Amino acid sequence: MRFRKLDLNLLVALDHMLELRSVSEAADKMFMSQSAMSNALTRIRTYFDDPLLIQVGRRMELTPRAEALRPAIRDILVRVDATIDVQPEFRADQSTRTFNVLLSDYTMRVLMPEVLALVEEARGTVKFNLLPQTVVPYTLLERGELDFLISPEQLISRDHPSLLLYEDEYVVVADKNGPYGGAPIDLEAYQVASHVVMVPPGNAMSVESTLVELAGISRNVDVTTFSFSSIPYLIAGTSRIATVHRRLARLIGMQVPIVHYPLPFAADPLRQMLQWHAYRELDQGILWLRSIFEEASRRLDIHSPHQ
């Protein structure tokens, strides 16, 4: 199909090349030969009268024109895909659709079991592809590569619709039989103790670490890990402490000998959000799964009541 003498199929190829900054990797992703992709790039360069990608050392860099085109092309492709993909009816008990959901290991442990149980109750035949958190979580959502993003409010996009699933408090966890296992910890002890801390991909700062920093508190970090759900296991049998979500502490506290106490300083609760692409607002499958996520969130307090 052509529009103003441009073969629109070339936009898909260009989108991959601009994202990957590699002709060979774009060819692999589209199951094309490298020569075919190079030919596509030549045709695109001719149409736009711009080199678009320039070899700089071992890397390809985008020209200013390419940088300007990149979000617009992605937006066009996502809009077309969403329009074509919308079905007038969605039957969860007949669908084999795979939903791509980006979430943290904390959410995987706390919320997803409730979600999958509800899907089972609804006799749903849908599938799930659960993806790990990235440095900028909403990037894949904006590219149309996610159906849902589950993330703290601070990390979602302001350009797409979202809803609050639930709130969670941060607590201090310690070994039940260790030096901090007998009573709530005060601020001085919190700063002196050795901590286990989760560090997100790309050495970014987690919401939990940001709250500690905003409170002007320094920690003696002894161990870092990529997983929130591993932390209670890492402090069990040691004198270390950690700051984790209350719901996670309660769940894992049923398996390992840990206790949890309120933080010795004021901190805002975690607001866990569900987000989807604006072009998917009328997608019946998205609407159905949104209702599942909302009901799963309501069940959290039924199955894990506040203490």
CA dihedral 199, 202, 203, 205 (to 10 degrees): -70
For 194, the enclosing helix (H) or strand (E) is strand 194-198
Quick one: how far is CA 107 from the chain centroid?
10
pLDDT score, position 5: 62
pLDDT score, position 303: 60
| pTM, two decimal places | 0.78
Coil, helix or strand for 114? helix
> Is the same domain home to 9 and 150?
no
The answer as to whether 75 is a domain residue is yes
Residue (of 234, 197, 235, 237) closest to 219 by Cα position: 197
pLDDT reading at 214 higher than 80:
yes
Which residues constitute the domain of residue 61?
A: 2-85
Looking at per-residue pLDDT, the higher value among 77 and 170 belongs to 170
Residues forming a β-bridge with 144: none
pLDDT tens track for 5-31: 667 678 888 888 888 888 888 889 888
Residues forming a β-bridge with 100: 129
Could you give the number of structural domains in the chain?
3
pLDDT score, position 4: 55
Distance separating alpha carbons of residues 3 and 209, to the nearest angstrom? 50
**Helices marked H in 172-218:** 187-192, 207-214
**Mean confidence (pLDDT) of the chain:** 89
Looking at per-residue pLDDT, the higher value among 221 and 145 belongs to 221
Distance separating alpha carbons of residues 46 and 25, to the nearest angstrom? 22
pLDDT reading at 270 higher than 80:
yes
> Is the same domain home to 180 and 247?
yes
pLDDT reading at 57 higher than 90:
no
Query: 188: which residues sit within 8 A by CB, 6+ positions away?
Result: none
pLDDT tens track for 287-303: 999 999 999 999 998 76
> Is the same domain home to 281 and 262?
no
Q: What are phi and psi of 260, to 5 degrees?
A: -135, 145
E strands in 6-75? 6-7, 53-56, 59-62
> Is the same domain home to 244 and 287?
no
User: For residue 15, what is the domain's CATH number?
Assistant: 1.10.10.10
- pLDDT category at 34 given cuts 50, 70, 90 is confident
- pLDDT category at 307 given cuts 50, 70, 90 is very low
Yes or no: say if 44 and 16 are a contact pair by the CB < 8 Å rule. no
Yes or no: say if 273 and 197 are a contact pair by the CB < 8 Å rule. no
> Is the same domain home to 11 and 58?
yes
Query: At 127, which amino acid appears?
Result: K
The answer as to whether 159 is a domain residue is no
pLDDT tens track for 117-147: 999 999 999 999 999 988 788 888 888 889 9
The answer as to whether 92 is a domain residue is no
> Is the same domain home to 202 and 249?
yes
- pLDDT category at 60 given cuts 50, 70, 90 is confident
The answer as to whether 90 is a domain residue is no
> Is the same domain home to 187 and 263?
yes
> Is the same domain home to 41 and 126?
no
> Is the same domain home to 62 and 124?
no
> Is the same domain home to 264 and 291?
no
Yes or no: say if 286 and 173 are a contact pair by the CB < 8 Å rule. no
The answer as to whether 106 is a domain residue is yes
> Is the same domain home to 23 and 65?
yes
The answer as to whether 160 is a domain residue is no
Residue with tokens 């050392």: 57
Q: Which two tokens mark 99?
A: 């939903």
Tell me how long the chain is.
307
Query: 129: which residues sit within 8 A by CB, 6+ positions away?
Result: 98, 99, 100, 101
pLDDT score, position 142: 84
pLDDT score, position 85: 64
> Is the same domain home to 130 and 190?
no
Residues forming a β-bridge with 195: 221, 241
pLDDT score, position 86: 64
Q: Which two tokens mark 273?
A: 């959000």
User: For residue 113, what is the domain's CATH number?
Assistant: 3.40.190.10
For 121, the enclosing helix (H) or strand (E) is helix 112-121
The answer as to whether 282 is a domain residue is yes
